Amino acid sequence: MIARALAAVLIFASVAAAPDADVRVDAQRHAAAAGAVGTVTGHAWEERRKPGGVAQPLGGAVVTLVPHSSALTAQLEGIRTRSRDSATAYRASARAIRLAREAYEKALWEAGAADLVRTSVVDTTGGFRVDLPAGPWLLIVTRSVRVGKASPRATKRERETYAPALRLMGFSAVSVWVRELTVSAGRIEEVELTDRNVWFTGIEEERTLDARP
């Protein structure tokens, strides 16, 4: 139990060390000033399950592009690797990946590069398109599907005996795709994302204090 708890602590400790020292945007800044712009296009699909079936677009998935960061890439890889250590670490990992991305986005904002955080959404046909300055980029695509699965309420005796506990209200099934890209001026970089080449799958739980009836 101690080892499992420690694995989860290590995951969140790695997120606390935001990779702000690795914010390097000179290439993108020079490209933007020179009008050197490229395009990232892609499709996100759930592949057909049987012959004659139809692939389903993963509409609503959130597409984020940020200037490439070796520190962030290593941080995400570390979270994914440690997610296999235990069930506790697995449950913590999807949230840790989200927080790591958000911490890097905040670092970009603080460095005056908020305009280099580019976002889009996969449309109903499964496609997306983002124009951005030439240079190295990191693509992070996230899809969350809410699953309502509340755990049982504590009994009256349990509430009177024990301190209030967090009760599971549901969770989101999270899929994450990560790609390192080099965007060139006047060129299109194409990305194909499917449920078979997903980089990480996990859950993000929703918990609340058990309310009294």
- Burial class of 139 by CB neighbour count within 10 A (0 to 12, 13 to 18, 19+): buried
Task: Find the range with the poorest average confidence among 7-21, 31-45, 105-119, 189-203.
Answer: 7-21
Kindly state the average pLDDT of the residues 145-150.
73
pLDDT of residue 172: 86
pLDDT of residue 154: 52
pLDDT of residue 22: 81
pLDDT (tens digit, 9 = 90+) per residue, 85-105? 999 999 999 999 999 999 999
pLDDT (tens digit, 9 = 90+) per residue, 67-76? 999 999 999 9
pLDDT of residue 166: 58
Phi–psi pair at 51, nearest 5 degrees: -55, 135
- Burial class of 54 by CB neighbour count within 10 A (0 to 12, 13 to 18, 19+): exposed
Given CA atoms 85, 86, 90, 95 in this order, what sign does their dihedral have?
Answer: negative
User: Does 42 score more than 80 pLDDT?
Assistant: yes
Q: Are strands 37-46 and 188-194 parallel, antiparallel or unpaired?
A: parallel
Alpha carbon distance 54, 47 (integer Å): 8
pLDDT (tens digit, 9 = 90+) per residue, 149-175? 655 555 555 454 555 555 556 778 999
Work out the mean pLDDT of the chain and round it to a whole number: 84
Give percent of the chain with pLDDT exceeding 70.
77
C-alpha angle 188-192-193 in degrees, rounded to nearest 5? 140
CATH of the domain at 75: 2.60.40.10
User: Does 16 score more than 70 pLDDT?
Assistant: no
Nearest one of 151, 192, 206 to 55, comparing CA atoms: 192
pLDDT of residue 51: 81
Can you give the residue range of the structural domain that contains 177?
2-209
Task: Find the range with the poorest average confidence among 8-12, 34-38, 71-75.
Answer: 8-12
Assess contact for 135 and 182: CB atoms under 8 A: yes
pLDDT of residue 169: 63
**Number of domains observed in the structure of the chain:** 1
